[in-house]
Amino acid sequence: MEKLDVRNHVVQTSEELRELVGTPHEAVVKKSIAMISEQAQSFIKQSPMLFMSTASRSGQCDVSPRGDEPGFVYVANSQQLIIPDRPGNKRVDSLNHIVDNPHVGLLFVIPGMEEVLRVNGRAVIIREHPVLEHLKFKGKAPLLGILVDVEACFIHCPRALKHAGIWNHESWPPKDQLPSSMDIFHAHLRINGYKVD
């Protein structure tokens, strides 16, 4: 399959982009604050899931889902929050990116709610700090935590989740029609020359 040729259709400047999409309403610009308001803290404490975007120093991007019981992210104060790093597959893509480039973007989700909370900031990976005791799961504190100094926090409109019908059970496809994660996993292993038994 040939790659698309889009050379004559690429938006190349911020000015060109602004001319195409227009100017945002002042309220849309001013909804972003450089702290975690009480209302945003309440959202975070009720969220069982977030998506964290990171990028390496060279610009390679990654988005990683993080989930646990509601309130798994600890709001330390109005400027900082901490995400526990639970044991996983040991790839640590996001953590390696944070070591190289501290900029992160977080998207908090609450089931049944179509608005999402967006938080941007700078992150560091912490270890052996007493604050990690606040992040215990089944009585055990995480080995590592991702501390984020918040630079922007704002609520995002419901359009995307609403149009996707993400919480509407009736719009969900039957489970037997869903793609198989194991099939995808095995196919990718084979493409990379790894023998699958």
30-167 carries CATH number 2.30.110.10:
yes
* pLDDT above 90 (res 196): no
* Mean per-residue pLDDT, 165-174: 93
Do the beta carbons of residue 126 and residue 83 sit within 8 Å?
no
**pLDDT score, position 77:** 97
Instruction: Return the amino acid letter for 127.
Output: R
* pLDDT above 90 (res 10): yes
**pLDDT score, position 71:** 93
Q: What is the mean pLDDT of the chain?
A: 95
Tens-place pLDDT, residues 87-135: 889 999 999 999 999 999 999 999 999 999 999 999 999 999 999 999 9
Structure tokens at 73: 């992210």
Q: Where does the pLDDT of residue 143 fall: very low under 50, low under 70, confident under 90, or very high at 90 and above?
A: very high
Rg (CA), the chain: 20
Residues in the chain, how many? Answer: 197
For residues 1 and 14, which has the higher predicted lDDT (pLDDT)?
14
State the DSSP string of 133-157: GGG-BTTB--SEEEEEEEEEEEEE-
In percent, the amount of the chain with pLDDT more than 70 equals: 100
Record the pTM: 0.93
**pLDDT score, position 87:** 87
* pLDDT above 90 (res 72): yes
Tens-place pLDDT, residues 144-159: 999 999 999 999 999 9
Paired strand residues for 63 = 53
**pLDDT score, position 197:** 79
In percent, the amount of the chain with pLDDT more than 90 equals: 94
Structure tokens at 14: 């911020």
**pLDDT score, position 186:** 95
